[in-house]
Amino acid sequence: MPPMTGNDLNIPSRWRQHLTLDLPESKAARPIWVHACSVGEVSSVAPLIEGLLDMGHTVHLTMVTDTGFAHAQRLFGGTVSLAYLPWDFPGLMRRMIAHLKPGLLLLCETEFWPGMLRSCRRFNIPVVGINTRISDRSFPRYRATRWLWRHWLKGVKLFLAQSDIDAERLKSMGVKKKRIRCVGHLKYAVRPPLVDSEALRLKVDASGKRPLLLAGSTHDNEEETLCRMFAAWKQAAPNLLLVLVPRHPQRFTPVIDSMTATGLRTARWSQGAAGRNHDAIVIDEMGVLGGMYSIADIVFIGGSLIPHGGQNPLEAAVCGRGVITGPHMHNFTAIMQDMRHAGAAVQCADAAEVEASVQRFISHPDELRQLHAHAAVFMQDRADVTRKMLKAIKPWLENTSLTAEVEP
């Protein structure tokens, strides 16, 4: 199914669904309820949802944010039912769950909502934590209140942790070892985008010959920092084209304005950029970034020059692209550690080191090819995560819509 455009999306009233004034409609009784907070979690859980759909199960997916909902619509179209998560008040959660009647809840990462967990225990709905991650920033808070979390999480049948670090942190929160299993990071199961790379390459650069430096999912002030480095990079590659993909759509126009103010000849993707005499392109459209990774020569991961914690480097790695990042990648600590050890990522200490690293790869294409080759092998070695996760949750799938009779 092709990705949906902005005009195709039909976003319901978030507030009415938060308050359960509008209740979700599932395609069958006893669906598998999957909860993923926002864009990143929706992307990571997509391979598992596709695996469940291939097995014949019915899936209901809930999100918290507008961007997460829109992304889910683009990914799944009408193949799963979608809704915003109710606010975590027991009455609202009970009302939604009593209406939906899920057979299983798959809870992504750290979406631990006490009201949700209590309501699932009341209705005897098994809960499995998938891709569970306890971040560096949140772990001290969880550990300090572990007496509460020991109680709230006791109804979760199994936690499928992203890494051994996350498994140890769950145990520190009072979860018994027998309810924790490490099967790997579900984000490793990301699939390469289905795009015509040649056509996309020509749309970005009509000559098809300019080296492309892609900065994916950039945040506040990062674009300006990269623009200041651009002059040095152009000395090594005079035809270099900088492709910027801001993380949030509300920043598209401000980013274009700020880049133009720096003196860079900047084009808007939505207005057709190829063939123009420009230094940079701002991708002002959602859902394009994945394809861009497949045509980039050098990739920088945004959210890493500021204390945001970085964005997902695996979306580039699955396209056979190694990555350069700034120092702040704590949202993906385990992944970055593995990628660095595999020679598939370069994590820089500061902006000056990012500038030097990009310049080195421009000047030494053999090192760049090696970085990308390591990324491709890295992803191939970890492609089996979805199968392992489906096998782990199999004992609870018999409660869901594949085997249950559809109620009138």
Catalytic choice (41, 50, 109, 223): 41
Q: How far is the C-alpha of 244 from the C-alpha of 252, rounded, in Å?
A: 10
The residue to which tokens 């990324």 are assigned: 375
| 41 catalytically annotated | yes
Q: Which residues are catalytically annotated?
A: 41
